């Protein structure tokens, strides 16, 4: 049988990685979804540890990091294939397949690599990102957090919100503006150990999804860190954030594809089995059309992410990447939300129950239109690039 073209064009190694990730999700992670939903996102410690260890053993952990640092150095297409499979499980169970910041090895000092990056790649410690503030969300440039040089140290101050995984992290990437000196007002990024004096958990608000990782409000009260903790130079902070945005936007799009596939499979199976008025509900055009629209949403999104990943592997210009990552995230996250909404409708009352995968995805996928840049911001990025370069340069 000739497989669909996007799969057909894949190398054997890519298909093997995809299959390894698929089996991990289906056999190890999905069976724990309900337990997690019923226990505030938590699963038994030994099971979570087992998932973590297996993700490493299967070569899925730190797939974006170079082999010489302990990562598995996958191509972007392979990373997309893995993320797509990971997207098929709810309750953040897939977060055991962790991707540390891929920009770090190129800019970190050997001290930073040894202290934070290598242990993160090995899965021994975890990082979090403290960038957003109450007054600075979409407009990252307006952050009020400060970094003031004091001899061989910096003094860091500010309050951050939505700091994902603060409860699991050993250290934060903290973004601030330089106060004083020739780089006054420039953005800078710092490693900050969570147990450094002055790092203070303010609160852990509850969010829509049922995840074990919190999104904390964290205060940095005159935290003193050595100059060694500065990542790159004063003024580099935004460049790292942009690079992370590009990567994570593509991975969000990939995870949305995995979620759509799971939703379509589950909703189709239900629609074929559920009989009302003497016939399976899928025989009603209203239901069949919802499934058809959903499959179209998935196919279009998947073609975008595979094409983009192949482009990145082939050396696509960074500016074009930036626009295409926004396009992929925008389209796939909005498509996934449409698909989840239709799936809830197809399941009827069952689709509103937390034990139903459609209900969980319906809640969980909502944030993909918000984090790593809202849909409105993605549209603005694309419109800006379109005005500068024209359609042909952006999409060929």
Ligand X SMILES: Cc1cc2nc3c(=O)[nH]c(=O)nc-3n(C[C@H](O)[C@H](O)[C@H](O)COP(=O)(O)OP(=O)(O)OC[C@H]3O[C@@H](n4cnc5c(N)ncnc54)[C@H](O)[C@@H]3O)c2cc1C
Size of interface with ligand X, in residues (CB under 6 A): 19
Question: Which of 225, 377 has the CB closer to ligand X?
Answer: 377
Give the 3-state secondary structure of residue 394. Answer: helix
Q: How far is the CB of 368 from ligand X (least distance, A)?
A: 10
Task: State whether the Cα torsion 226-230-233-236 is positive or negative.
Answer: negative
Q: Is there a contact between 342 and 298 (Cβ–Cβ < 8 Å)?
A: no
What is the CA 90 to chain-centroid distance, rounded?
Answer: 13
Should residue 374 be labelled a site residue for ligand X when binding is judged by CB under 6 A? yes
The DSSP code sequence of 176-201 is EEEESSTTTT-EEEEEEETTSTTEEE
Stretches 97-105, 124-132, 343-351, 384-392: which one binds ligand X (CB under 6 A)? Answer: 124-132
Stretches 70-78, 100-108, 271-279, 376-384: which one binds ligand X (CB under 6 A)? Answer: 376-384
Should residue 345 be labelled a site residue for ligand X when binding is judged by CB under 6 A? no
The DSSP code sequence of 264-306 is HHHHHHHHHH-EETTEEGGGSHHHHHHHHHHHHHHHHHHHHHH
Q: Is there a contact between 259 and 93 (Cβ–Cβ < 8 Å)?
A: no
Question: Which of 17, 96 has the CB closer to ligand X?
Answer: 96
Options 87, 105, 137, 351; binder of ligand X; rule CB under 6 A: 137
- Burial, 168: exposed, middle or buried (Cβ in 10 Å; 0-12, 13-18, 19+)? middle
Q: How far is the CB of 276 from ligand X (least distance, A)?
A: 37
Q: Is there a contact between 82 and 97 (Cβ–Cβ < 8 Å)?
A: yes
Should residue 370 be labelled a site residue for ligand X when binding is judged by CB under 6 A? yes
Should residue 380 be labelled a site residue for ligand X when binding is judged by CB under 6 A? yes
Q: How far is the CB of 133 from ligand X (least distance, A)?
A: 8
Q: How far is the CB of 260 from ligand X (least distance, A)?
A: 20
The 205-244 contact track toward ligand X, x by CB under 6 A, reads --x-------x-----------------------------
Query: What residues from 162 to 181 belong to the interface with ligand X (CB under 6 A)?
Result: 162-164
Q: Is there a contact between 369 and 334 (Cβ–Cβ < 8 Å)?
A: yes
Residues in contact with ligand X by the rule CB under 6 A: 129, 131-132, 137-138, 162-164, 207, 215, 367, 370-374, 376-377, 380
């Amino acid at each position: 049988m000739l497989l669909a073209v996007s799969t057909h064009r894949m190398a054997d190694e890519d298909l093997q990685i995809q299959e390894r990730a698929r089996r991990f999700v289906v056999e190890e992670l999905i069976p724990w979804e309900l337990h997690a939903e019923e226990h505030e996102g938590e699963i038994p410690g030994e099971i979570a540890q087992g998932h973590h260890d297996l993700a490493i053993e299967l070569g899925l952990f730190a797939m974006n990091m170079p082999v010489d640092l302990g990562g598995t150095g996958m191509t972007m297409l392979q990373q997309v294939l893995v993320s797509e499979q990971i997207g098929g499980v709810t309750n953040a169970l897939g977060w055991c397949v962790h991707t540390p910041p891929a920009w770090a090895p190129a800019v970190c000092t050997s001290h930073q690599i040894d202290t934070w990056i290598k242990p993160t790649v090995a899965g021994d410690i975890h990082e979090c990102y403290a960038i957003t503030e109450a007054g600075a969300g979409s407009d990252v440039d307006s952050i009020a957090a400060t970094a003031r040089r004091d001899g061989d140290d910096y003094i860091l101050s500010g309050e951050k919100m939505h700091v994902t995984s603060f409860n699991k992290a050993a250290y934060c990437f903290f973004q601030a503006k330089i106060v004083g000196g020739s780089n006054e007002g420039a953005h800078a990024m710092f490693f900050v150990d969570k147990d450094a004096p002055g790092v203070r958990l303010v609160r852990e608000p509850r969010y829509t999804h049922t995840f074990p990782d919190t999104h904390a409000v964290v205060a940095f009260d005159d935290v003193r860190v050595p100059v060694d903790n500065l990542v790159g130079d004063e003024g580099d902070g935004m460049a790292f954030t942009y690079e992370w945005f590009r990567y994570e936007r593509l991975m969000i799009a990939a995870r949305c594809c995995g979620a759509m596939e799971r939703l379509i499979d589950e909703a189709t199976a239900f629609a074929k089995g559920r009989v009302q008025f003497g016939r399976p509900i899928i025989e009603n055009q209203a239901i069949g059309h919802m499934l058809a629209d959903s499959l179209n949403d998935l196919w279009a999104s998947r073609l975008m992410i595979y094409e983009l990943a192949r482009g990145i592997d082939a050396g696509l210009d960074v500016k074009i990447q930036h626009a295409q990552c926004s396009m992929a995230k925008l389209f796939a996250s909005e498509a996934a939300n449409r698909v989840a909404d239709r799936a809830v409708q197809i399941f009827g009352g069952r689709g509103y129950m937390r034990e139903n995968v459609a209900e969980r995805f319906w809640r969980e996928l909502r944030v993909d239109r918000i984090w790593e840049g809202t849909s409105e911001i993605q549209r603005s990025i694309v419109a800006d690039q379109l005005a500068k370069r024209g359609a042909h340069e952006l999409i060929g």
